[in-house]
């Protein structure tokens, strides 16, 4: 009887845990053809359009510089089915990227409300923004691309 109780509790735990995970659906990341480097999605940028779900798919159109800014307040958290595509200059999908071979170090963090010294230049940031980032390309190439948030680059040029 004791084994049955433990089994029942384990099943309940699994069901409750599964019910707590928010499902976001399908995400597609459209990346300019042959782009290699870091991609940044910067949230809470009021002057940029909102990313919306259409027909069950949330589409992220990455710029030629690897940056997408959006007025969405925060990253999309929860379970999702992510797909990555190279697109031509007209936005047509030309190649699906392999998530193991071509997409690396995906993460979400906050940037802002602080400052520091980078490369001998003092900088400050005022607004806290959520930034999602990942590297596109062969993992061996990552050492050739410094991960620098776009705001850091802008602050250094002032």
Check residue 91 and give its pLDDT. Answer: 94
Q: pLDDT by residue (tens digit) across 75-132?
A: 877 777 999 999 999 999 999 999 999 999 998 887 765 555 544 555 455 556 889 9
Sheet holding 67-69, edge to edge: 67-69, 37-42, 129-136, 103-111
Distance (Å) of CA 6 to CA 13, 14, 62:
11, 12, 49
Look at the block and give the residue holding tokens 């071509």: 102
Kindly provide the residue ranges of all beta strands, DSSP E only, lying in 18-128, ordered along the sequence.
23-32, 37-42, 53-54, 57-61, 67-69, 79-87, 93-97, 103-111, 114-118, 121-125
CA separation for the pair 62, 112 (Å, rounded) = 22
User: Of residues 131 and 4, which shows the higher confidence score?
Assistant: 131
Check residue 109 and give its pLDDT. Answer: 83
Residue 45 has a CB neighbour count (10 Å cut-off) of 14
Check residue 6 and give its pLDDT. Answer: 44
- For residues 86 and 95, the answer to whether their CB atoms sit within 8 Å is yes
Does the pLDDT value for residue 27 go beyond 60? yes
Distance (Å) of CA 13 to CA 20, 66, 142:
11, 41, 40
Q: How are beta strands 67-69 and 57-61 bridged, if at all?
A: unpaired
Task: Indicate the DSSP class of residue 3.
Answer: H
pTM: 0.71
Residue range 127-139: average pLDDT?
A: 88
pLDDT band for 21, please (50, 70, 90 cuts): very low
Residue 93 has a CB neighbour count (10 Å cut-off) of 13
CA 59 from chain centre, in angstroms, equals 12
Q: pLDDT by residue (tens digit) across 44-90?
A: 899 999 999 999 999 999 999 999 999 998 887 777 799 999 999 99
């Amino acid at each position: 009887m004791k084994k049955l109780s433990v089994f029942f509790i384990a099943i309940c735990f699994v069901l409750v845990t599964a019910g707590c995970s928010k499902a976001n659906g399908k995400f597609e990341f459209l990346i300019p053809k042959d782009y290699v480097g870091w991609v940044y999605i910067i949230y809470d940028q009021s002057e940029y359009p909102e990313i919306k779900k259409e027909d069950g798919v949330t589409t992220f159109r990455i710029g030629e510089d690897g940056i997408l800014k959006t007025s969405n307040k925060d990253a999309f958290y929860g379970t999702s089915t992510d797909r990555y595509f190279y697109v031509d200059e007209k936005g047509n999908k030309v190649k699906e990227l392999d998530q193991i071979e071509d997409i690396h170090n995906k993460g979400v963090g906050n940037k802002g409300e602080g400052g520091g010294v980078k490369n001998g230049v003092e900088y400050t940031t005022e607004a806290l923004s959520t930034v999602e980032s990942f590297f596109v390309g062969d993992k061996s190439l990552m050492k050739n691309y410094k991960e620098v948030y776009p705001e850091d680059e802008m602050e250094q040029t002032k």
